[in-house]
Structure 1
Amino acid sequence: MPVSQILGPVVGILIVLIVLGRTLKTVDQAHVAVVTVFGKYRRVLNPGLNVLIPFIEKVHRRVPVQNQTAQLQFSAITGDQAAVHFTATIIFTVSDHSPQTVQLVAFKFIDANSFGVALTSAVEASVREFVATKRQAEVLGLRTDIVQHAKANLDEQLGSWGYTLVDLTVNDIQFDAEVMSSMSRVVAAKNAQTAAEFEGQALLIARTKAAEAEGAAIKIAAESEAEAARLRGAGLAKFREELAKGISQSAQVLEAQGVGAEMLAFTMWTETIRDAAKEGTGNVVFLDGSVEAMDASLRRLQGLTVLQTAAGSKN
C-alpha cells in the first residue's frame, strides 16, 4: 500500500483529535473557566464537560470558587517607633459564581502573583494604620482589635476585586530582640513592684490585726481585773459586816450573863496571839508584856467593843 494512502487516514484522525481537543473542555469541580474570543471575554464554563468553538474560543483561566488561604508576613511601626513583625493567615473566596464576578476575578490582576502582592499590601496597610496609633506595650494585648480593624477595611477592598473575606487570623506578633528584652525587664520590674506592694499590704494587715487582738486582750484582762477587784472588795466589806455583827452579838450575850464586854476583847486578843504562834511559819512577833502595856491594850479593846455594841444597838 502506498505511503500516501496510509498517511491520509492518519492525518485525518489527527485533525479530528485536534479539533475535538479544541472543542471539548473539562472543568474540574469547585472551578469555573473563563472563555475568551481572540483575547476578549466571552462567557463562563461551569464544572463538567463543555463544548467550545474550536480555534475561536479559548479557555483564558480557570478560577477556583472554593475557599483559598494565604500566609502573609509583614511589619508595622508602633506609635513609639517600635518595629512589630506579624504572621497572618487570610481565608477568602470568590463572592459568587455570577459571570460578572468571575470576569472581575479573572481580569482584575495579570496573574496570581500580582494578586498575592496586592492582598498582602492591603492587609499590611490596614494593620499598620491601627498599630501606628498604639504603643508597643499595648500591641500584644490587642490581637483581637487588630484583626477586627483589618477585617473591616479588607471587606470593601476584597469586594472590589470580586472576593469575600472569610476569616483573618494573626498567628504571631514579634518585636525585635532588643525590644523584647526591654519589655521583659519592664514586666519583671512591674511584677516585682506589685509583689512588694502586696507583701507590704499583707504585713500591714497582719500587724494591724495583731495590734487589735492585743488591745482586745488587754481590755478583756483589765475588765476582768476590775470585776475581780470589785468582787474582792464586796467580799471584804461583807466579811467585815458579818464580823461586826458577830462581835456585837457576843458582847450582848456576855452582858446578858453579867460578864463585862472587856472579857470578849481579852479573849479575842489572846486567841489572836495563839493563832499567830500556831499558824506562823518562822515569823517573830514581839509583844510588850508589861502591866502598863496590857492595861492599855485592854482599854483599847474595851473601847472597840463599846463601839461595836453601840453599832449593833443602832442596827
Structure 2
Amino acid sequence: MIAVWIIVLILVVVIFTSFVTIKQGTVGVVTIFGKYRRILLPGLNWKIPLIEVLYSRISIQNRSVELEFQAVTVDQANVYFKAMILYSVFDQSEEAIKAVAFKFVDERNLMQALVRTVEGSIRAYVATKRQSDVLILRREIVEHVKEQIDNILEGWGYHLQDLQLNDITFDDIIMKSMSQVVASNNLKAAAENEGQALLITKTKAAEAEGNAIKIAAEADRQASQLRGQGVALFREEVAKGMSVAAKEMHQANMDTSVILFTMWTEAIKHFSENSKGNVIFLDGSADNMQKTMKEMMAMHALQTDEVKKA
C-alpha cells in the first residue's frame, strides 16, 4: 500500500514538473545536463521531467541604465557627462537568446561591460575634440557611440536602442569663461542690431523727408499752375466783357473811352480800399494827364480793332 502511494506521489511530481509557464515579455532557456537544448516562448510549455531544466528566464523588454563619467578633451578640459542607455535583447532568435544566456555570468557583469564600453567610446571621441566644440557635437557623439558598440552588443545578443546625453558640464572656471564669451557675443550682436536699426530708422526718415519735399514741390507746382490758369481765365473773361461793352457802345454811337476812364477810377478805388497806407499819390500834372490819356486812347484803339474784327 505504501509503495502505491509512493508511486502516485512520484507521478504527481512528474506531471507538475513537466509544465512550465513563461510570462509575457520573457523567454525561457532549457538545458539538458548543462547543455543548451531549446527556448520556451511565453505561455504554458511542456518539458521532459527530470531531464530538461529551465536554465533561466530572459527578459526581452527594453531596459535602461543611468551613468555618470568624466572625459578629457584634446585641449585638456574636463567634461562631465550624465547619460542614459536604453537597450534590449536584439531579437527572439535562438542565436540571440543563446548569447544573452551564456555570454556573461550574471546581469551584474553584463551591466559593467555595457557601461564601460559606452564610457570608453565617448572618452575616445571627446579626446579628439576641443572643449569649445563638445557642446555642439551632442548628436555626433551619440551617432559615434552607436556606430562603435552596435557590433559589440550584437555579439552579446543585445541592441542599443538609444543613448541620451542628458547633461554635459565643465569645471566651474571653464563654465564662467564660456558664460563670459556668450555674454560678450550677445552684447556684440545687440550693438550690431542696434546700429542696423538706427541706420534703417535714419534711412527711412531721410526717405520720408525726401518724399515730403517732393510732394510739397509737386503741390506748389500744381498750385502755381492752377493760379496761372485762374489769372489767365480771369483776364480772358475781362477781355471778353470789355469787348462786348465796347461793341454795344459803338453800336449806340457812344464814346468807348468812357470804359477806360471807368477802369481808371475803379483802380483808384481799389487802391484806396485795399492798400495799407492812408495816402495815394497821383501825378496830376498836365503832361502826366496827357500821357495817361494817350495810353488810354491806345488801349481804346486796340479794343476798337478787336470789336471790328469780331
Q: TM-score normalised by the shorter chain: which range applies?
A: 0.7 to 0.9
User: Which residue number corresponds to residue 271 of structure 1?
Assistant: 266
Q: How far apart, CA to CA, are the structure 2 residues paired with 1:266 and 1:219? A: 47
Q: Residue 110 of structure 1: CA displacement?
A: 5.7
Task: Give 5+ residue unaligned stretches, structure 2.
Answer: 1-12
Which residue of 2 is the match for residue 198 of structure 1?
193
- Equivalent of 2:224, from 217, 222, 229? 229
Deviation, structure 1 residue 102: 6.0
Say which SS state the counterpart of residue 277 (structure 1) adopts.
helix
CA–CA separation in structure 2 for the residues paired with 1:244 and 1:92: 108
- CA shift, 1:261, in A, is 3.5
| Residue 114 of structure 1: how far off its partner (Å) | 4.5
- SS of the equivalent of 2:284 reads coil
Within 5 Å, give how 1:221-260 maps onto structure 2. Answer: 221-260=216-255
Residue type matched to 2:59 in 1? V
Decide whether the 8 Å contact of 1:27 with 1:45 is kept in 2: no
Deviation at 1:285, TM superposition (A): 0.9
User: Within the alignment, does 1:184 sit opposite 2:179 as a pair?
Assistant: yes
Instruction: Give the structure 2 partner of residue 296 of structure 1.
Output: 291
> Within 1, Cα distance between the matches of 2:111 and 2:225?
98
Report which stretch shifted further, 266-275 or 179-188: 266-275
Residues 236-276 of structure 1: CA deviation (Å, up to 9, x unaligned): 12222222333333334434444433333223223332343
CA 1:272–1:98 in 2, change beyond 3 Å: closer, same or farther?
closer
- What letter corresponds to residue 290 of structure 1 in structure 2? S
- Cα shift readout 1:198-244 (whole Å, capped 9, x = no counterpart): 33333333333322222222222212211111121122122222223
Q: Structure 1's 253 and 101: CA in aligned 2 closer, same or farther, altered over 3 A?
A: closer
Secondary structure of 2:280's aligned partner? coil
Cα 1:254–1:76 change in 2 (3 A) is same
Q: For residues 49-64 of structure 1, what are the structure 2 equivalents within 5 Å?
A: 64=58
Provide, for residues 146-205 of structure 1, a one-character-per-residue CA deviation record: whole Å limited to 9, x for no partner.
223222222211222333334332222212222221222222222222223333333333
- Find the aligned partners of 1:166 and 1:94 in 2 and give their Cα distance: 10
Identical columns (%): 44
Which has the larger displacement, 133-142 or 293-302? 133-142
- Structure 1 pair 131/302, CA: closer, same or farther in 2 (3 Å)? same
Q: Does 2:70 match 1:75?
A: yes
Cα RMSD (Å): 3.8
* Change over 3 Å in CA distance of 1:99–1:292 after alignment to 2: closer
Distance 1:87 1:95 in 2: 25
Q: Does 1:218 align with 2:228?
A: no
* Conserved 8 A contact 2:30-2:39: no
Q: Does 1:175 align with 2:175?
A: no
* Residue identity in the other structure for 1:139: V
Give the 3 Å change call, closer, same or farther, for CA 151–274 of structure 1 in structure 2.
closer
Letter in 2 for 1:84: V
How far has the Cα of 1:312 moved from its partner?
4.0
The 1:163/1:277 distance shift into structure 2, 3 A limit, reads closer
What residue identity is the alignment partner of 2:259? L
| 2:164 is the counterpart of 1:164 | no
For 2:8, the equivalent position in structure 1 comes to: none
Which blocks of at least 5 consecutive residues in structure 1 are unaligned?
Answer: 1-19
- Corresponding residue number in structure 2 for 1:91: 86
CA pair 84-44 structure 1, distance change in 2 beyond 3 A: farther
Q: Is 1:131 aligned to residue 126 of structure 2?
A: yes
Whether the 8 Å contact between 2:73 and 2:127 is mirrored in structure 1 is yes
Structure 1 window deviating more from structure 2 (116-125 vs 28-37): it is 28-37
TM-score (normalizing by structure 1): 0.71
2:265 aligned counterpart, secondary structure: helix
Number of aligned pairs?
286
Match in the other structure for 1:313: 308
Asked if the contact 1:74/1:86 (under 8 Å) is kept, the reply is yes
One-letter code aligned to 1:165: L
Which of 32, 36, 59 in structure 2 is aligned with 1:65?
Answer: 59
Alignment correspondent of 1:3: none
The residue identity in structure 1 corresponding to 2:284 is G
SS of 2:308's equivalent? helix
Contact 2:75 2:130 in 1 (8 A): yes
